[in-house]
Structure 1
Amino acid sequence: MKFHKKRKDALFAALSLAVTLAVFLITAFTYKDKTPGKKSLPASIQAATKPNIVVILADDLGYTDLASYGNKIVQTPNIDALGKEGIRFTQAYSSAPICSPSRAGLLTGRYQQRFGFEFLVPQNTGQKPSPEQMQKLLAFQAKVGSSREPGIDEEAFNKIGKGLPESEISLAKLLKQNGYKTAIIGKWHVGETEGFYPQQRGFDYHYGFYSGLTLYSPESDPSVVDKHLPWALSESAAWHRNGSNRLVRNNQDVDEKQYLTDKFADEAIAYIEQNKTNPFFLYLPFNAPHDPFQAKQSDFDKYPNVSDSTKRVYYGMITGLDNAVGRIHQKLKDLGLDKNTIIVFTSDNGGATYTRGTDNAPLRGGKLSHFEGGYSVPYFIKYPGKITAGKEYTLPVSNLDIFPTVAAAAGVKLPTDREYDGVNLLPFLNNQKQGAPHETLYWRSGYSKAIRKGDYKLYINERNGKQLLFNLAKDRSETKDLCAEHPEKVKELLADLKTWESKLQTPTWPHRTNSTIEVNGEKYFFPI
């Protein structure tokens, strides 16, 4: 009896193993995605494939706008969770203190000045302004402290192709060439005209807009609180969806009524669901909390004790962004994809102090300045099983590092026909490499420049006639100028900056506007 029972148990075990193997093989080889004739694996089996890549980019989110970076008012549990489940960086920089150039750097892993992308891509309204409109624009610019650069030939300027040049290899193009599905959902802002669209730079899919800003919701929406900013330099361009401000899906116009931060989250969730069986690169450049200042009433109501309505709307917009990030993160978890996904979250530049929504304190200055508040950004990387969760990384890093870091995670080699300025951070985060990823970091926007080497930073504004030296290890708030105390350090940094500048390309298009930004009671020029 015992013999027969053992044989019966063995036969049953063998049969169970055969059934399990058959189910696996049938699933693996017959499960199909929506691509005709293509076979792919379900989400539960995808853990053995290349990692998914999600890069979330906030817009004008300041270094101290999140709870995890010291904000005592705004609660951002979902964004902060990326740091708890990954790594939070305390000295992270964008490659420019303004939208367009920093995005070009992020997407290429190269200083954008190497390929002439030094200044903002100007908004394409789709029509030539009338003399009366131009007069109003100039009057408004004078009111908010900006002016046109003299000597610009407008007709010649308009003929210049402005955007990410075709000669550059975007992160999307590189990953697409290596088997990834690629999508951008949100703000593009590295080219607003034919020849510079996302689908022409490696993205399979795009939902969003081309310019620097657009409405979050029609002004008539009763569920949204609007706050106009007559003191802000972008106010005149913000409150419409004309030209490159319009919403598109794969270059087809979309009439969208839903609050845009929520809509971008919905689009991202749908894209993840549709591509759960393929390795994908999802680039999510939200426009929050860039102006126009529009917050959902429900988010605005979370801050009843904030008496300043400008700040209250701004905080509500950040809350909306945090909710969107949380929903996207949860979708990855629900599908079992989060353990095989590298998530990066950062901002394109520092907080825009000119909106009066934020001040970046204790950092000096903000967007449109080369002080620390202008390009210091929150920065998180989550990569389960590959980097230790819950750590802080305190050495300087850059948004240029995103390109080589995610390429390394995907097992993709960088092209060898060009120089990359970004660094693969993974060996540094895993203690496989010692020291700092960057000995020196550089910034330049025409006559406004900066260089950081070790703990020392030199700020230069040729138009203001300013040259300031700071020791950031002792004085991150940039309160004490050390030029007189360390003339040899000034000389060293000037020489290094000059050497770097000698490798750069002449800007493809000139700056057309000069803005003045008030920093600690003093006005500084900045070219746009």
Structure 2
Amino acid sequence: MKKRNVSYKTIGLAVFLLTLTLSVLLTTGFHFKDTTAANESNKFLPPTAKPNIIVILADDLGYSDLASYGNPVVKTPNIDALGKEGVRFTQAYSSAPICSPSRAGLLTGRYQQRFGFEFLVPQSTGIKPTPEQLQKYAAFSKQVGSSQEPGIEEEAFNKIRKGLPDSEITLAQLLKKNGYKTAAIGKWHVGETDGFYPQQKGFDYHYGFYSGLSLYAVENDPAVVNKHLPWALSEYAAWHRNGSNRIVRNNQDVEEKQFLTDKFADEAISYIEQNKNNPFFLYLPFNAPHDPFQAKKSDFDKYPQVSDSTKRVYYGMISGLDNAVGRIHNKLKELGLDKNTLIVFTSDNGGATYTRATDNAPLKGGKLSHFEGGYSVPFFIKYPGKVPAGKEYNLPVSLLDVFSTTAAVAGVSLPADKEYDGVNLLPYLNNQSQGRPHETLFWRSGYSKAVRKGDYKLYINERNGKQLLFNLANDRSETKDLCGEQPEKVRELLAALQTWENKVQKPTWPSRNNSTIEVQGERYYFPI
């Protein structure tokens, strides 16, 4: 082969051109990116890691129970931080003003009425009450305004299977099928018997209890402040760990001594550490601040200025919840997982005004009502780099959206054989989709119902004989009934509600009890 000689002139020209190119790039604004910090923050993540998903669900946490939602007394810096680092929603709704049905909607992304889950899963104490206990309970029910609904015998009612049916696909089942580890830590309350346990609904691991409430700690613990609520609906069932109130790990009984809010946080942190190298879905339904009212003394002592002992214990319980959320959030940051983790924080329904600890102001009513205070909830989404930090989103959204949003984040398609009522919120949060995520939203608990279309809401209580129309754009507190002024709007919303009701099922099990809730001096019935 013939050799080629490279002259010094050629080399000099190449050097000159390279220097010229670099000079042009630098003067036109091109910069070499320093990736050291980015690589450091992602050192725990494989290049194509699926995002982790954590859904934190508070229990009966009201719309105005957090500092970031206007509470002037309670201290919630850790929960509020999720809004500073993510999105805070001002018009978020649960799909029911009571815990059991709303959880069914959250876990499936579908109106729970589509599969007959309209009423509460009743608590199983595991103990047959004596005649004296039944008499005492009847007196208590009369005192708090609760009455048994006639129409079905006890034996027939007990034979009905109550919980999430096998026809439904939970978020855990969907994600597990697509490579996720799954855990539920906390309160379950969508089925208390075999066939409805968390492990039978897609969760690899469960720690918590099956019913609607359980003791946080033994009553004689000197580090705990207790407050009985003889005026509250659930007081009679709250102060024990019998039956479905017991604590279990993967369906095995646990003798738990630690304060439950702290224990659930410990379990969550342990699960995160064990699965830091796997994509995981952690469903974390705390029972705080649902009664029984028990606060750690250290949290109770944060509010010496609060003279009302009921509110002081309640605020202490919320502070305990806030501390638990902060510990979990910090663990994600410590492990370098927070940049690749979607965190959702919300509540299952509005604050329980019957406890006399909260009022959901400026909203009307509370849990067990279809006024705004009954199902308006605090709601945050944090997903670094994928949703804007510090954004406030002011259009109506639903907890049904959690299913579709998390499925989209995980890159998982929704099952094609079902109609989903939630939407993926990410395009709305990033201004990629215009308009409202939901033009119309529906609620129904037997004879108590509501429909919101645009800014108008129609409240219906057939047992009370009430039909009320509100314009929520300028009357979120629901002070002025517009039925007389806008009968055509009433007919429009009634027609929309009727169309929706024609598409859903009758309840799989009936309501056994009616409760009442006082709203601005008037008592409203509600089936549970």
Q: TM-score, normalised by structure 2?
A: 0.92
Shift of 1:48: 3.0
Describe how 1:77-92 pairs up with structure 2 within 5 A.
Answer: 77-92=77-92
Q: 1:48 to 1:372 in 2, by over 3 A?
A: same
Matched with 2:62 is 62
Distance in 1 (alpha carbons) for counterparts of 2:100 and 2:43: 35
Rg comparison, structure with higher value: 2
Report the alpha carbon displacement of residue 46 of structure 1 after superposing the two structures with TM. 3.6
Take 1:47 and 1:91, find their aligned partners in 2: how far apart are those partners? 36
2:337 matched to 1:337? yes
- Is 1:165–2:165 an aligned residue pair? yes
CA–CA distance in 2 between the matches of 1:152 and 1:466?
26
Q: What letter matches 1:361 in structure 2?
A: A
| Aligned-pair CA distance for 1:126 | 1.3
Q: CA deviation at 1:43?
A: 6.6
Q: Give the structure 2 partner of residue 6 of structure 1.
A: none
2:409 is aligned with 1:382:
no
- What amino acid is aligned across from residue 87 of structure 2 in structure 1? I
Give SS of 1:479's match.
Answer: coil
Structure 1 contact 47–340 (Cα < 8 Å) conserved: no
2:269 is the counterpart of 1:301: no
Deviates more, 1:143-152 or 1:394-403: 143-152
Separation of aligned partners in 1, 2:43 and 2:97: 39
- 8 Å CA contact retained: 1:387, 1:429: yes
Deviation at 1:129, TM superposition (A): 2.2
1:119-518 equivalence runs, <5 A: 119-518=119-518
Root-mean-square deviation over aligned CA pairs: 0.8
Q: Does the 8 Å CA contact 2:54/2:283 hold for their aligned counterparts? A: yes
Indicate if the aligned counterparts of 2:97 and 2:370 stay in contact, CA closer than 8 A: yes
Count of aligned positions: 487
Residue of structure 1 in register with 2:71 after alignment: 71
Identity %: 83
1:118 corresponds to 2:118: yes
- State the Cα deviation string for residues 23-55 of structure 1 (Å, max 9, x = none): xxxxxxxxxxxxxxxxxxx97134631000000
Distance 1:342 1:478 in 2: 34
Q: Distance in 2 between matches of 1:417 and 1:128?
A: 42
Instruction: Indicate the SS of the match to 1:48.
Output: coil
Q: Is the 8 A contact 2:45 2:337 kept in 1?
A: no
Q: What is residue 108 of structure 1 aligned with on the other side? A: 108
Q: Secondary structure at the match of 2:417?
A: coil
Preserved contact between residue 47 and residue 337 of structure 1 (Cα < 8 Å): no
- Provide the rounded CA distance (Å) in 2 between the counterparts of 1:69 and 1:506: 36
Unaligned ranges ≥5, structure 1: 1-41
1:328 Cα offset (Å): 0.1
Q: Does the Cα contact within 8 Å between 1:43 and 1:337 map onto a contact in 2?
A: no
Amino acid at match of 1:462: E
Contact 2:442 2:452 in 1 (8 A): yes
Show CA shifts across 1:465-504 (max 9, x none): 0000000000000000000000000000000000000011
Deviation track 1:157-178 (CA, whole Å, cap 9, x = no partner) reads 0011100001100000000000
Structure 1 residue matching 2:295: 3-state secondary structure: strand
SS at match of 1:295: strand
Q: Distance in 2 between matches of 1:218 and 1:352?
A: 23
Summarize deviations over 1:3-22 as a string: whole Å, max 9, x none.
Answer: xxxxxxxxxxxxxxxxxxxx
Q: Within 2, Cα distance between the matches of 1:416 and 1:48?
A: 26
Q: Is the 8 A contact 1:54 1:342 kept in 2?
A: yes
For residues 334-365 of structure 1, the C-alpha deviation after alignment (integer angstroms, 9 at most, x for no partner) is 00000000000000000000000100111000
Please, which runs of 5 or more residues in structure 2 have no aligned partner? 1-41
1:381-413 residue CA offsets vs partner (Å, 9 max, x unmatched): 000011111000000000000000000000000
Equivalent residue letter for 1:79: I
